[in-house]
Amino acid sequence: MRKILPILLLLAGCASNSSFTISVTGSGPFSGSIMVIRDGKSEQRSVEGTAPTSYSETGSLVSVSFQKKGTTGTLGVDITKDGKPAASQSTTAEYGVVTAATQ
């Protein structure tokens, strides 16, 4: 994995910027992080919220990880790239985690 990440960062830095919409689906509170590569630089931020909600980002790559703060319900994430579906995942597990990435 250590060898793959620098390669991904290099490739993502060479790609043109796209518009990403990150939709957090389900219901209930969650926390997590959003990582974006923009102009060859990685930017990461922590987020907390209540689903459903969405975030907009611009860059060459986006990677997200969100965790439910409870034991019931569903948490999901859908990422669109320039308006087209690009990645999706959901969970019903107690304190479940969803991750998704696309470039």
Every domain of the chain and the residues it spans: 4-102
Q: How far apart are CA 39 and CA 49, in angstroms?
A: 28
Closest by CA position to 66, among listed 102, 29, 17: 29
Strand 41-59 to strand 84-91: parallel, antiparallel, or no bridges (unpaired)?
A: unpaired
Q: Which residue has the tokens 């689903």?
A: 51
pTM: 0.84
Which CATH code, of 1.10.10, 2.60.60, 2.170.130, 3.40.50, is assigned to 4-102? 2.60.60
Q: Is the pLDDT of residue 100 over 90?
A: yes
Q: How far apart are CA 85 and CA 80, in angstroms?
A: 4
For residue range 51-67, what is the model confidence (pLDDT) as tens digits?
A: 999 999 999 999 999 99
Q: How far apart are CA 62 and CA 33, in angstroms?
A: 11
